[in-house]
Amino acid sequence: MPFKPFAMRIVIRDPDDAQEFLEGCILAQSNNNSQYFRELIDGLNGGLHEYRQELIAQGASIQP
- The model carries a pTM of 0.82
- Rg of the chain, C-alpha, whole Å: 14
What single DSSP character describes residue 22?
H
- Strand blocks (E) in the chain: none
Number of CB atoms found within 10 A of residue 51's CB? 13
Alpha helix locations (H) across the chain?
Answer: 15-31, 35-57
pLDDT tens-place string over residues 3-54: 999 999 999 999 999 999 999 999 999 999 899 999 999 999 999 999 999 9
